[in-house]
Amino acid sequence: MSDGAIRPLPIVVVGHVDHGKSTLVGRLLHETGSLPEGQVEAVRESSRRRGMPFEWAFVLDALQAERDQGITIDTTQIRFRTARRPYVIIDAPGHKEFLKNMVTGAARAEAALLVIDAAEGVQEQSRRHGYLLRLLGIPQIAVVVNKMDLVDWSAGRFGQVAEGFRAYLAELGLTPLAFVPVSAREGDNLAAHSPRMPWYQGPTVVQVLDSFEAAPRPVDRPLRMVVQDVYKFDQRRIVAGRIESGRLRVGDEIIFSPSNKVVRVRSIEAWNVPEPPEEAVAGESIGITLSEPIFVERGEIVSHLERAPMETTVFRGRIFWLGERPLEVGNTYTLKLGTSEARVRVEAIERVIDTDDLSGRPADHIARHGAGEVILRADRLLALDPFDANPATGRFVLIEDYLPVGGGIVSMEGYPDQRQLVTRRATNIHAVGHAVTREARIARNGHRGGVLWFTGLSGAGKSTLALALERELFRKGYQVYVLDGDNIRSGLNADLGFSPEDRAENIRRVGEVAALFADAGMIAISAFISPYRADRERARRAAGDGFHEIYIHAPLEVCEQRDPKGLYKKARAGEIPDFTGISSPYEPPENPELVVPTHELSFEESLALLVDYVERHFRA
């Protein structure tokens, strides 16, 4: 059914303070006959009262403070149409102080005009806004070089400004559709080509707008529905939410993440529609009933079984920071992602980015209006997507003291999917009650069983110490066995490679095997890097209270210098992908039972420390 309503394309106008963004929009509306009756007179009167020449910006800048100071404070939206289609133009403030309002406006746009003053050239916020457009995922941009009247309509000056900025944007991966020389105040090259710049044959601003395309609806991406609520207004129990991507049909088998509950869609509910829907697609706010009365909550993501979102307690965020207080390592914030919320701790700041030259460096904080890459760890399992795979479930906001203080996009590079941590594939297995008790085994062996879980960087000394400890304990009469790469990778885990997922599975199996050894009354020593905290936590759960996490610790520089197998050199040369410490993260233990600092102790001292620990904790 056509009802005549046409979707307006949302365009944001950004750029440095005073470069003429609001003037551009005001004049553009005038040039295209879009202003309501009486508006020009009202602007003339407002300008006159303030002793200013006619200010087109007043069409947008409606606050008294904005007009008095000649500056945009908050973003605004205004409608206009060309022969091709309607638009909603989002005017953003350029002053650094109001960056939060710029983000508010820009985040809703599907294309952007970046305005630059021809006389002043590219400035700090021109670049920062360019960077933010990239981060916000707005791929279509055009650059408007304004105030050409101030540079005598010079083609040379225009080329100079355009070329410098083209290079910066290219480094960001942005290719502008056009560079347009204009005078916003005088109306040149807005709706018609200006006789004062005959050297310019490119598109006018209106033509540029008309060449932008609306973002396609993500109907062909995997299904993601964020759960907003569960209603019981009548006999129906309705799970309500919005489909962010993909499509959902009655009868589909779906999984809720992160609770990992699987169920079928019984019906799609809607009020005051001609007939009950059989299908719903991206963009729709819907309600569904389920084939079974399972317990699900706000915050979960509905998907199909295949192509489900990732589950993780840790991820990398590419963020921008708006908070008055800097973001610091160790700080905690409330994370909002989709409709889910969790507490997250800033575990590391991998780099802060200087938006002036796009250089990055490690740091311990990100200041207001800064950008960077951080590692965030949540207090519970999250369901999410890498931003590139699915934007709507791959971006997040951070809250501090009620206020949104930052936003960012998710990268899972180097982090495994933790879904298998919580998924039990087989459910028809019952634990066998052993005829030999734990106490009997302890009495025979003279010691308890358990797991000594070594973790640490490559070259920290795990294998050497594990083998020496095994020999020493065996000599003292312990039942002891080392699990390491050689005896596990060649057999049990011969089917696994080195991707983050395979590494996680490798560690999961080692954890289970170690737990069996412990249950059999033996001491299992495992000597794997096991870089992810979540994997080690799972191994701990498998082994129960006999689990001892032992951090074989030496700083990265030391390990790299030792480099016993020449692996660091190869990793630095890019020959080994996903190498822990170099191209893949190592998450140090938070509360290990024992730390062995091998860069501070001699080999004998380290070994003695370990033997003493076992004697104290395992002797019957």
Partner 1 sequence: MSWNYLAELEAESVYVLREAFAKLDRLAVLWSLGKDSNVVLWLCRKAFFGHVPFPVIHIDTGKKFPEMYAFREHYARAWGLELIVEMAPPEEEVDPTLPPAARSAARKTLGLQRALEKHGFEGLILGIRRDEQALRAKERYFSPRTADNRWNMKDQPPEFWNQYMTDFPPGTHVRVHPLLHWTEVDIWRYTKRENIPVIDLYFARDGKRYRSLGDRDITFPVESNARTIDEIIAELETTHIPERAGRAMDHESEDAFERLRATGYM
Ligand X SMILES: Nc1nc2c(ncn2[C@@H]2O[C@H](COP(=O)(O)OP(=O)(O)OP(=O)(O)O)[C@@H](O)[C@H]2O)c(=O)[nH]1
Binding residues for partner 1, rule: CB under 8 A, are 1-7, 35-38, 45-46, 49, 60, 62-65, 73-79, 88, 100-101, 103-104, 107-108, 136, 217, 228-229, 231, 233-234, 236, 238, 240-242, 269-273, 277, 280-281, 283-285, 287, 298, 322, 336, 339, 395, 397, 399, 402-404, 407
Q: Counting contacts by CB under 6 A, is residue 184 touching ligand X?
A: yes
Stretch that binds Mg ion, among 43-51, 68-76, 482-490, 565-573 (CB under 5 A): 68-76
Radius of gyration over every alpha carbon of the chain, rounded to an integer in angstroms? 31
**Shortest CB 1 distance to partner 1, Å:** 6
Longest dimension (CA), the chain: 101
Residue 22 as a binder of Mg ion (CB under 5 A): the answer is: yes
> Cβ of residue 353: shortest distance to ligand X, in angstroms?
23
Query: Is the Cβ of residue 184 or residue 582 nearer to ligand X in the bound state?
Result: 184
Question: What's the token pair of residue 542?
Answer: 């498998």
Closest CA to 180 of 356, 315, 20, 320: 20
Site for ligand X in 48-67 (CB under 6 A): 55, 57
Give the residue at shortest CB distance from ligand X.
94
> Which pair of structure tokens corresponds to residue 537?
């936590």
The three-state secondary structure class of 7 is coil
Is 130 a binding residue for ligand X by CB under 6 A? The answer is no
Nearer to Mg ion, 128 or 448 (CB): 128
Each residue 204-223 as x (binds ligand X by CB under 6 A) or -, in order, gives --------------------
Q: Is residue 526 involved in binding ligand X (CB under 6 A)?
A: no
SS3 label, residue 44:
helix
Q: Which of 74, 76, 93, 300 binds ligand X (CB under 6 A)?
A: 93
CB of 72 to Mg ion, least distance (A): 3
For the record, the structure tokens of 589 come out as 């233990």
533 contributes a contact to ligand X by CB under 6 A? no
Angle of helix 124-136 relative to helix 99-106, nearest 10 degrees, comes to 40
Helix axes 155-172, 124-136, angle to 10 degrees: 40
Q: Does 22 participate in binding ligand X (rule CB under 6 A)?
A: yes
229 binds, among partner 1, ligand X, Mg ion, none (CB under 5 to 8 A by kind): partner 1
Instruction: Provide CB contacts within 8 A for 372, sequence distance 6+.
Output: 318, 319, 321, 349, 350, 351, 352, 353, 360, 363, 366
Active-site residues, by number, are: 530
Task: Calculate ∠ Cα 3-4-9, nearest 5°.
Answer: 120
- With binding defined as CB under 6 A, does residue 76 bind ligand X? no
441 binds, among ligand X, partner 1, Mg ion, none (CB under 5 to 8 A by kind): none
User: 17 contacts which partner out of Mg ion, partner 1, ligand X, none, CB within 5 to 8 A by kind?
Assistant: ligand X
Number of residues that bind Mg ion (CB under 5 A): 3
Residue 73 vs 397, nearer CB to ligand X: 73
Q: Are 342 and 378 in contact (CB under 8 A)?
A: yes
Does 493 bind Mg ion (CB under 5 A)? Our answer is no
CA 317 – CA 33 distance, rounded (Å) = 44
Q: Which residues have CB under 8 Å from 588's CB, separation 6+?
A: 551, 553
Question: Which run of H or E residues covers position 605?
Answer: helix 603-618
The region of 19-27, 211-219, 303-311, 362-370 touching Mg ion under the rule CB under 5 A is 19-27
* 21 part of the interface to Mg ion, by CB under 5 A: yes
Q: With respect to ligand X, which residue has the nearer C-beta, 18 or 560?
A: 18
Of residues 50 and 249, the one with the C-beta less far from Mg ion: 50
The Cα–Cα gap between 489 and 300 comes to 36
Q: Please report how close the Cβ of residue 372 comes to ligand X at its closest, in angstroms.
A: 25
389 binds, among Mg ion, ligand X, partner 1, none (CB under 5 to 8 A by kind): none
Token look-up 């993780």 returns: 312
Amino acid at 205: V
State which of residues 10, 21, 225, 547 lies at the interface with ligand X (CB under 6 A): 21
**96 touches ligand X (CB under 6 A):** no
Burial (CB count <10 Å: 0-12, 13-18, 19+), residue 48:
exposed
Alpha carbon 155 to its chain centroid, in Å, reads 42
How far, CA to CA in Å, does 218 sit from each of 214, 215, 243, 268, 309? 12, 9, 10, 20, 15
Nearest approach, Cβ of 562 to partner 1 (angstroms)? 46
Strands across the sheet containing 450-455: 480-483, 523-527, 450-455, 547-553, 594-597
Q: How far is the CB of 598 from partner 1 (least distance, A)?
A: 46
Q: Which does 475 bind (CB under 5 to 8 A by kind): ligand X, partner 1, Mg ion, none?
A: none
**Does position 146 bind ligand X by CB under 6 A?**
yes
Contact in structure between 377 and 347 (CB atoms under 8 Å): yes
Closest to Mg ion by CB, 105 or 277:
105
What does 95 bind: ligand X, partner 1, Mg ion, none (CB cut-off 5 to 8 Å by kind)? Answer: ligand X
* Amino acid (1-letter code) at residue 553: H
Q: Which 3-state string (H, E, C) describes 190-235?
A: CCCCCCCCCCCCCCCHHHHHHHCCCCCCCCCCCCEEEEEEEECCCC
Place of tokens 């950004």: 14
Number of amino acids touching ligand X (CB under 6 A):
22
CB of 34 to ligand X, least distance (A): 17
Please state the closest distance from residue 184 (CB atom) to ligand X, in A: 4
**Measured distance CA(25)–CA(39) in Å, rounded:** 14
Q: Using CB distances below 5 to 8 A depending on partner kind, what does residue 236 bind out of ligand X, partner 1, Mg ion, none?
A: partner 1
Torsion (CA) 57, 62, 63, 67 in degrees, nearest 10: 30
Q: Closest Cα to residue 280, out of 310, 301, 250?
A: 250
Site string for ligand X, 148-177 (x = CB under 6 A): -xx---------------------------
Q: Which range of residues in 7-15, 71-79, 117-125, 157-165 is near Mg ion by CB under 5 A?
A: 71-79
Structure tokens at 61: 């800048």
Which one of partner 1, Mg ion, ligand X, none interacts with residue 402, CB within 5 to 8 A by kind? partner 1
Single out the residue of 32, 34, 72, 312 in contact with Mg ion (rule: CB under 5 A): 72
Find which of Mg ion, partner 1, ligand X, none residue 155 binds, CB within 5 to 8 Å per kind.
Answer: none
Interface residues with Mg ion (CB under 5 A) are 21-22, 72
Interface residues with ligand X (CB under 6 A) are 17-23, 55, 57, 70-72, 93-95, 146-147, 149-150, 183-185
